[in-house]
Homo-oligomer: A and B are copies of this chain.
């Protein structure tokens, strides 16, 4: 017997399109698991497309690409979240680190209705983790957010299942591909920060306003999410000590390299008794250490009491890569709700 899981997708940016692409390319049906996904609504700031019998993800993508997608203009994303009948909300609107909106409202509304939520949106999870998980629990709904930290690189799902039974002592790693790219290029090509940053912007590895990445805010948001979800802390961005990479000189990187080190922007969270460690800063990593990964890669070292240190490395961003994390959350919910 195949269980059909109905999905409403809010957001058609890079991640939303990645999810649609994965579903279009065979990711809708899992005969061995007895699961199929049906997209019943897709919405963005321009309106929504709804069909309880299922939309064609490929057609939506094509329509979005060539500008022919016919949205119902007066049906807002919130209307979809409130009124459409779906099982899982895939909330993939852009992150607002200050307010969490508009995603926070959508997630709150869906959970209040007892619907499951899968999100890639760091804002709501970093700002309101406890409120949202309490709401999910009291409505017997799941709230999963693998895609918020490290894109395709599994962290939460790794700890939930393959490392089950392990007490997690701390997590540290490289959680921002833009910073890693800049630091890698600077030392490899012996170029100064500003020049590599310009190049990164041209290649699309850095935003026009790169502050959010290079000043460590994006990494700090991920540290907040890890802190609250893995260690039961109740912290916000203000609790994280943050230093970015914008004042790092090529000379400093060369000096490190001559001594066998690379410089990486490292985010770290560790309960450490009453003295919590929550920090983001450029740090020396031995070149031979598993965290010393290059380019846009992300890497996380998960310290456990039984398995010791486990390092996972993967692509921290990318449309389809991030969609892979969302898909694993969707499958987890689908499998759990089958039983």
- A residues with CB within 8 A of B: 22, 27, 30, 146, 152-154, 157-158, 160-166, 287-288, 290, 292-294, 297, 299, 304, 306-315, 318, 320-321, 323-325, 327-328, 330-332, 339
Q: Does B162 lie within 8 Å of A158, measured CB to CB?
A: yes
Q: Sort A-B residue pairs by CB-CB distance and give the 8 closest, nearest first.
A: A154-B162, A157-B162, A306-B324, A152-B307, A311-B313, A161-B161, A165-B327, A307-B324
Complexed CA–CA distance, A307 and B331 (Å)? 15
CB distance from A131 to the nearest CB of B (A): 20
A107 smallest CB distance to B (angstroms): 22
Q: Which of B152, B157, B312 contacts A308 (CB 8 A)?
A: B152
Nearest-Cβ distance from residue A209 to partner chain B, whole angstroms: 27
Docked CA distance A164–B325 (Å): 9
In the complex, 6 of the A-B residue pairs with CB atoms within 8 angstroms, ordered by the A residue number, are A22-B165, A27-B306, A153-B310, A154-B310, A166-B327, A310-B312
> Least Cβ distance of A5 to chain B in Å?
12
Q: Is the CB of A328 within 8 A of B297?
A: no
B321 lies within 8 A of A307 (CB): yes
**Do A313 and B328 have beta carbons less than 8 Å apart?**
no
Chain B residues with Cβ under 8 A from A321's Cβ? 306-308
- Bound CA–CA A164/B306 (angstroms): 25
Contact of A315 among B146, B307, B312 (CB under 8 A): B307
Q: A290-B293, A306-B323, A339-B339 provided; 19 other pairs, C-beta below 8 A?
A: A27-B306, A30-B165, A152-B308, A154-B310, A157-B161, A158-B158, A161-B161, A161-B328, A166-B328, A287-B288, A288-B292, A288-B293, A304-B324, A306-B324, A307-B314, A308-B321, A309-B314, A311-B312, A313-B313
**Given A288-B294, A311-B312, A306 and B166 touching (CB < 8 A)?**
no
CA distance A293 to B313 in the complex (A): 12
Other-chain contact of A160, B161, B290, B304, B339 (Cβ < 8 Å): B161
